[in-house]
């Protein structure tokens, strides 16, 4: 049976894959390793599951923020159209 913390981490990892479809899984894991080391001073090998969760949540919020910014920029660049069609 997979512990709850690990199950949550795997769910977040899947979400990160969806938020960054152009990134290979190995690249994502390497990036998470760098983020984890930066935040905890520990390598991915030695990081606690709870610390990894914090890294995953932070990265997800950063990616979601970028997606929101991209959507806002896209909406701002579209020409305004009136409801009446004129």
Torsion, Cα 77 79 81 86, to 10 degrees, reads 170
Domain boundary assignment for the chain: 23-66
CA angle, 52 then 55 then 61, to 5°: 140
The alpha-carbon radius of gyration of the chain (Å, integer) is: 18
25-72 residue pLDDT tens:
999 999 999 999 999 999 999 999 999 999 999 999 999 887 666 556
pTM to 2 decimal places: 0.74
What tokens appear for 81 in the block? 């159209």
């Amino acid at each position: 049976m997979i512990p709850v913390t690990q199950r949550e981490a795997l769910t977040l990892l899947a979400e990160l894959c969806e938020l960054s479809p152009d990134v290979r899984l190995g690249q994502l894991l390497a990036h998470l390793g760098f983020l984890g080391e930066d935040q905890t001073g520990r390598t991915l090998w030695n990081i606690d599951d709870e610390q990894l969760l914090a890294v995953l949540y932070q990265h997800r919020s950063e990616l979601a923020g970028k997606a929101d910014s991209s959507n806002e920029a896209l909406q701002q660049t579209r020409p305004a159209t009136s409801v009446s069609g004129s």
